[in-house]
Amino acid sequence: MRSILRTDPVARDVTALCLAGVVVGLSFGAIASAAGVPLGKIVVMNAFVYAGGAQFLAVGLAGAGASAVAIIVAGLLLNARHLPFGLAIGNEVLGDGRPARLVGSHLMTDESVAFALAQQEPGRRRRAYWLTGVCLFLTWNVSAGVGAIAGSALGDPNTFGIDAAFPAALLALTLPSLKDRPSMRVAIAGAALALVATPFLPAGLPVLVALLALAFALPVKRRSPVRRRS
């Protein structure tokens, strides 16, 4: 195990991310059970919704007395980003054959997509995606289940700075994709649009608004020589 981690940078990085994921999972389980969600429902949510952000949001809304419809709409709005993520990575990252696609798409998270996009060649992309996906799925289910049972004895994960670890991890994974000016512009504009939109739109939409930042890549389209009539 140790030698694998030493020789394989992707496995090492995925392990680090999963360790941070354990803390988030523990805290989700604890918060959900403190909000009165029974263990069975927490376990089913972990396995089948399998989306940390939407799960936190759903539990928060349920605690605030929101209706089922409100919870569904908010959660799906937040998770709609998986559609463009899937368009970006495509089936070649998931692998060949129906089982790989059926299972692989369920493992799609911000982190597995970011890990895949950080790799250059297709084989490595697929491997990074699956390593991240399987590792995060297992740690999320186990740790969020344990957190639900152990409850509030765990304390606040922010004490350990885990809330800073995740954006930093995503950032480190996204940096290699910012290899030219258009992608830099799109990234900066996307983040700015989401931040500006956040006070005005329901949770989930601001991140989708960031797609408008694609417009900032347009002018750099290879300029075809303009023909002038002489």
Partner 1 sequence: MSWIAIIALAAGTYAFRFAGPVLRDRISVSEEVRRYLTLAAVALLAALIGTAALLDGTHFVGIARPAGVAVGAVLAWRKAPFVVVVVAAAVTAALLRVAGVE
Please list every residue from 35 through 74 that binds partner 1, using CB under 8 A: 37, 41, 44-45, 48-51, 54, 58-59, 62, 68, 71-72
Contact predicate 228/220, CB 8 Å: no
Q: Using CA atoms, how far apart are residues 223 and 32, in angstroms rounded to an integer?
A: 53
Say whether residue 166 binds partner 1 (CB under 8 A). Answer: yes
Closer Cβ to partner 1, 136 or 169, answer by number: 169
Residue 189 touches partner 1, criterion: CB under 8 A: yes
- Cβ at position 230, least distance to partner 1 in Å: 30
Site string for partner 1, 8-37 (x = CB under 8 A): -x--xx--xx--x----------------x
Name the strand (E) or helix (H) holding 192.
helix 181-197
Pairwise CA distance, residues 89 & 174, whole Å: 14
Sole binder of partner 1 in the list 30, 89, 128, 144 (CB under 8 A): 89
Which of residues 138 and 228 has its CB atom nearest to partner 1 in the complex?
138
> What is the number of helices (H) and of strands (E) in the chain?
13, 0
Range in contact with partner 1 (rule: CB under 8 A) among 124-132, 134-142, 143-151, 197-205: 197-205
Query: Which of 122-130, 134-142, 147-155, 203-211 is the region at the interface with partner 1 (rule: CB under 8 A)?
Result: 203-211
What is the footprint of partner 1 within residues 137-156 (CB under 8 A)?
none
Find the angle CA(102)-CA(106)-CA(109) to the nearest 5 degrees. 145
Q: Exposed, middle or buried, 69 (CB in 10 Å: 0-12/13-18/19+)? A: exposed
**4 scored as a contact of partner 1 (CB under 8 A):** no
Tell me if 113 contacts partner 1 by CB under 8 A. Answer: yes
52-63 vs 9-34: helix crossing angle, rounded to 10: 10
Reduce the DSSP state of residue 226 to 3 states and report it.
Answer: coil
Q: Cα–Cα distance between 5 and 13 in angstroms, integer? A: 9
Which of these ranges, 119-127, 134-142, 144-152, 185-193, lies near partner 1 under the rule CB under 8 A?
185-193
